[in-house]
Amino acid sequence: MKNIFLTALAALALTTACKKNSEPAPPAPTLAKAQVGGILTAASEVPAVTTASTATGTMSGMYDPNTKALTYTIVFSGLTGNAAAGHLHFGDVRHSGPVTVPFTSVPTATSGTFTGTVTLTQMQADSLAAGRIYANIHTAANTGGEIRANLVTATAPTVPVLGLLAPTNERPAVTVASNATGSVMGTFTPSTRVLTYTIIFSGLTGNAAAGHLHFGDARHSGPVTVPFSNVPAATRGLLTGTATLTQMQADSLLAGRIYTNIHTAANPGGEIRANLVAK
């Protein structure tokens, strides 16, 4: 009788195990899509451009981590000559690196727009999320790249923060003409009010004397709201930082009324400025 009971118990256990093994695995969770963006400038090139350029551009798009599909639109203008090529490269903001995705539809012109979709490998996707993928447009005058942008990704509720630094954005106008350029890229999390940023600039009329976030829309200047403590005293440089904004500062950032300003001795009111876009 005992042997019969043990045999029946073993059979029940085997049946239960087989049933469990035959049950389908739960579906993988759907991951949220991420916004992708970047401001292309000559100031972002590493090493520096060999021929000075005031060209600019933007890259915007969406990345789907479920399919690893990156859809993008790139707009550029003001190149020193026709675009010769364009790529996504591997490298952080301080370094250049190899091509990882070539663009196949770059207009042979000094200004243009092109779009595309590419499916990334897992390694490329990891580097994109880590901020180590950059877009680069090459010309004959600047074969290593004339304008570049390390790409920022943000998944809701975090939003990307971007800005193009230029003398023409200054209010009032600069007192000494400047061909300086620069860019701001980062992320902002409304729930914590944490702003993380990277600022790149080059071509100033003299060493940077100070830098700040100010309050003011694109038509007006305004008071300092967040000072930068690590602005390089140079005509070309890079600074990074994190700031926790007040609720009023956060509201103004999301409303487009916070701008970045880099000051010099020649232009103490600001030489290059960018009103930040956070959305």
Domain layout of the chain by residue ranges: 28-156, 157-279
| pLDDT band for position 29 (cuts 50, 70, 90) | confident
Q: Give the whole-angstrom CA distance, residue 102 versus residue 124.
A: 13
CATH of 28-156, one of 2.60.40, 3.10.20, 3.40.50, 2.30.29: 2.60.40
* ∠ CA 83-48-132, rounded to 5°: 80
- Give 104-152 pLDDT, tens digit per residue: 999 999 999 999 999 999 999 999 999 999 999 999 999 999 999 999 9
Residue 9: band (very low, low, confident or very high) from pLDDT cuts 50, 70, 90:
very low
Residue with tokens 């950059």: 134
Please check whether the two domains, 28-156 and 157-279, share a CATH topology: yes
Report for 13-17, 22-26, 117-121: range of highest mean pLDDT: 117-121
Q: Which residue has the higher pLDDT, 238 or 3?
A: 238
| d(C-alpha 269, C-alpha 188), whole Å | 26
Q: Please count the CA atoms within 13 angstroms of the CA of 77 that sit on its side-chain side.
A: 2
Residue 72 scores a pLDDT above 50: yes
237-244: strand order across its sheet: 237-244, 194-202, 181-189, 159-165, 277-278
Sign of CA dihedral 89, 127, 192, 211: negative
Is 2.60.40.200 the CATH classification of the domain at 157-279?
yes
Cβ neighbour number for residue 84 with a 10 Å cutoff = 16
pTM for the full model?
Answer: 0.85
